Each structure stands twice: as structure tokens, then as C-alpha cells.
Amino acid sequence: MVLLSSANIDYHLPFIVRKSDGSIIHPRKEFDAFAQHQLDVSRLDRIAEHLWMVGRVGNVHPLHRQHVLGRQVILTEQADLHLLWIDKTIFIKPLPAWLLDEAIWKQHIRISPRLQACANGFLRTYAYLVAYECDFAIATRLNLIPEGFTWPSWLNLVQDRLLPLCLDRNPLSFAPRYTYGELRLSRINILYRLLPKLKLKHFFRGYYYGSQAYQGFLERNFAWLVAGFAYLALVLTAMQVGLATKQLENNTAFNAASYGFTIFAILVPLFAVAVVAALSLLLMIYHVRATLKHLHETTVAIKP
């Protein structure tokens, strides 16, 4: 399994890594913290009992199949975005060279059952992603696997290291997230907004906050309103035509239904606009408060 020697492993590590909370990790000095950060899937493990609604057990398509499905592969260094997909996009974390170094496994990974479970699950996904020689060509072109591999050397790695993980049936060997393969990101966002045990901030941000402006957020989450309004207009037009016919002109039930639906069609758009406006206001308040909080924490941190 050894790919790198300890002498040159530093060249495959970044100088600094910034975490989501703004803190900085120096991988070459704080490797344990770096490895924990790079393999962390705790956000998905937190909702592991609900993941059956967003993916299937062990479902990982090879890279060539991702192309057949019309998906664009987006590289990410976040392990908790690895194999999450939305629309025609799937996120894949490149296989880091340091994760294939035997010395690192002995000194850092095997001493932590949690970290080893995350590493095992992540490595196992690559046995499925790069299953054929054409997958290897795609992975090489996308820089998903470290430099220096050939197809025969990759097969040796799969046989010696990855295949035993595929045959391992002990659930404790893997982080709960890796019981499942590809996960639908849109449904994970819904879970993060609706599950009561999560924090209020998740209601606003969901799991993955891809929108960088209110317009994009509203377009993504309220596009269905346009279709709803179009349907209302279609039904009102049909009712108007129906009232003009002799068969329905004096029909009491149809007249009552037309009256009720007309009132409904007037009130629903007003209610929808009010909801969108209220949500936009809440989002603005939330982001202003979050910005002020971050500014305060940053100011306190840099004070002597």
C-alpha cells in the first residue's frame, strides 16, 4: 500500500487549511487535526438513521457511469460532500496521497477508531469509482488519484488494500455515512431544515448552502410557484369557458365551485408573496446577525 515515503509526504500537504469556523490548521505541524478535518463526515453521521431516504446502501456508480448519467464531476476537499449529487452534478473528493502512506496509518489513523472508520469508508468508495480501465483514465484526467499510478499499480492497490474493505461486513469498520453510497443533496437539505434535533441555523442554511445571493436562493426554492400560478390561470380560464356554456351556466354546484376557486386564486398568490417576503427578511436578519457575530469573534481573537 505504500505510495510515498515519509521523507516526501510533506510535499503533498497544504501549508494551511481554513476550517468553516474560521480557525486555521497547519497540516505539517498539526497532522492529526488536519486528518480529522479532511475525513470528517460527522454532519452526515448525525442524520444516519434518515439517510435511507436520500440514498441506497452501497450505491456507488463507476466514473464512466457518472458520464453516462450526464453528471458533471465537481472536485471538493470536503469529505461530507463526497458522492453527494444534485441535478447533473456530483461532488467527489480526490484520493489524497497521504492516505495511502503506511507510516501515516500506523502513527495517526489506526490509533483513532473514529478516524479509521472514516478512512476505511472513503477508501472503499474508490474501489467502486475506479473499477474499469476507462474509469482509471477518467480519474487520472480529473486528478482524482495521486500522480504516479499506472493501471497495473492501481489494480495492485485495489487487491491489497481496497478489496478487503469491500468484503468487510462489520458495520463498525466504517463511519455510518458510508453504509450508503451516493446521496441526493436536495433531500439532505430538506432533512437539515426540518429535523427538530438540529440547530435553528440549519433551517436557513440547510446542509449545503450553494446560493450566494437571495435571488439564487429564491429561484432554486420557489420556482414551483410559477408552475402553480400557471395552473391556477389555466383552471380559471377553463371555469370561465364553462360558465359561458348552457350546460354549466345555471349549474349551482359549478357556480359555487367557481366562486370558491376564484377567491382561492386571489388569496393564494398574496399569501405566497407574503411568505417569500417574510423569508427574505428572516434570511437578511440571520445573515446580518451571523456577520456581526463573526466580526465580534474575529475582533476578540486578534486582540493582544
Same domain, 183 and 118: yes
> Which among 165, 194, 223 is the end of a domain?
194
Domain that holds residue 79: 9-194
Query: How many angstroms separate the Cα of 289 from the Cα of each of 1, 140, 193, 238, 293?
Result: 49, 44, 19, 48, 6
In terms of domains, do 155 and 220 share one? no
Looking at the structure, do residues 174 and 69 belong to the same domain, yes or no? yes
Give bridge partners of residue 184 from the DSSP assignment.
85
HSE toward the beta carbon, residue 150, CA cutoff 13 A: 2
**What is the average pLDDT score of the chain?**
85
Q: At what angle do helices 252-302 and 224-243 cross, to 10 degrees?
A: 170
User: Average of pLDDT values for 27-49?
Assistant: 93
Calculate the alpha carbon distances from 119 to 124, 182, 214, 226 in Å: 9, 17, 37, 45
**Are both 179 and 31 inside the same structural domain?**
yes
- Kindly state the average pLDDT of the residues 281-303: 64
Q: Is residue 115 part of a domain?
A: yes
Same domain, yes or no, for 56 and 124? yes
Asked which of 162, 194, 226 is the last residue of a domain, the reply is 194
SS3 at position 221: helix
The secondary structure of 23-78, three-state, reads CEECCCCCHHHHHHHHHCCHHHHCCHHHHHHCEEECCCCCHHHHHHCCCEEEECCC
Contact predicate 6/14, CB 8 Å: no
From 146, 53, 132, select the one nearest 98 (Cα to Cα): 146
Cα 89 from Cα 71, distance rounded (Å):
5
Among candidates 60, 55, 37, which has minimal Cα distance to 125? 60
Q: Are residues 19 and 131 in the same domain?
A: yes
Number of domains in the chain: 2
CB atoms under 10 Å from CB of 30, counted, come to 14
Whether residue 246 sits in one domain with residue 131: no
Helix axes 252-302, 214-222, angle to 10 degrees: 140
Helices (runs of H) and strands (runs of E) counted in the chain: 14, 7
Residue 257 lies in a domain: yes
- pLDDT range class, residue 203, cuts 50, 70, 90: low
Domain membership of residue 28 (yes or no) is: yes
> Quick check: 211 pLDDT over 60?
no
Q: Looking at the domain assignment, is residue 176 inside a domain?
A: yes
Residue 24 lies in a domain: yes
3-class state of residue 180 by DSSP:
strand
Give mean pLDDT, residues 42-58: 93
The pair phi, psi for residue 26, each rounded to 5°, is -105, 95
Q: What is the average per-residue pLDDT within 190-215?
A: 70
The pTM of this model reads 0.75
pLDDT confidence of residue 254:
86
Residue 38 lies in a domain: yes
Q: What is the pLDDT of residues 74-133, one digit of tens each?
A: 999 999 999 999 989 999 999 999 999 888 999 999 999 999 999 999 999 999 999 999
In terms of domains, do 68 and 215 share one?
Answer: no
Q: Which helix (H) or strand (E) holds 126?
A: helix 113-129
Rg of the Cα atoms in the chain: 26
Same domain for 182 and 104? Answer: yes
- CA–CA separation, 6 and 47 (whole Å): 37
Q: 174 and 269: one domain?
A: no
Cell 354549466 appears where?
A: 248
Specify if 2 maps to a domain: no
Last residue of a domain, one of 194, 228, 246: 194
C-alpha span between 115 and 122 (Å, rounded): 11
Residue 225: pLDDT band with limits 50, 70, 90? confident
Say whether both 153 and 99 belong to one domain. yes
Same-domain check for residues 273 and 154: no
* Phi, psi for 177 (deg, rounded to 5): -60, -35
Within-domain flag for 3: no
Average pLDDT estimate for 228-244: 85
